[in-house]
A = this chain, B = another copy of it.
Amino acid sequence: MVYLSRKEHFNAAHKLYNPAWSKEKNVEVFGPCANENWHGHNFELIVTISGNPNPETGFVVDLKKLSRLIREEVVEKLDHKNLNLDVPFLQGKMASTEILAMEIWKILEPKISDITSFGKLYKIKLYETPRNFVEYLGE
């Protein structure tokens, strides 16, 4: 079993805001992250596939195909977007890095078999800043 990873990036605006709460409670809990006028980040996304290399290619997955899949299915839906307003798969959800990583897993997990029969999704790692990041392994 080998673990193969590809890093992509996107940038987006968001706010942390629970619509079930008052504005005051949102500011109390989320502080400046609740700014109604939004703030934003350069996100770095690392997708890891686990598997055994195809003996004919030496590849668990062709990284060009993995890069294209991540860009088409995830990056194009998030890059230069507002996570709260523009992203259908985040509607009704908190726009935290934790939730975003879990939703990216849900999108990519069933599609890995389209690009390789030698591996499956192992981990989503998502940097919100160089100092804050999340990992999700699907369970």
A residues in contact (CB < 8 Å) with B: 1-9, 11-14, 16, 18, 20, 29-33, 35, 37-42, 48, 53, 55-60, 62-64, 79-82, 85-86, 93-99, 101-102, 129-137, 139
Contacts and interface: CB of A to CB of B under 8 A. Distances in A.
Contacts of A133: 4-5
A12 B40 contact: yes
A16 B81 contact: no
Interface centre among A41, A42, A62 (most CB of B within 10 A): A42
16 contacts: A1-B139, A2-B98, A2-B134, A2-B136, A4-B134, A8-B131, A11-B41, A13-B37, A30-B57, A32-B79, A35-B82, A39-B40, A40-B40, A40-B41, A59-B96, A59-B98
Contacts of A16: 57-58
Q: How many copies does the complex hold?
A: 6
Contacts of A95: 58
Q: Is the interface of A mostly helix, strand, loop or mixed?
A: mixed
A5 B101 CA distance: 13
B86 A37 contact: yes
Given A14-B40, A53-B102, 19 more contacts: A2-B101, A3-B134, A3-B136, A5-B135, A8-B131, A11-B39, A12-B40, A13-B38, A16-B57, A18-B57, A20-B56, A29-B62, A38-B40, A39-B80, A40-B40, A40-B41, A41-B41, A53-B99, A58-B96
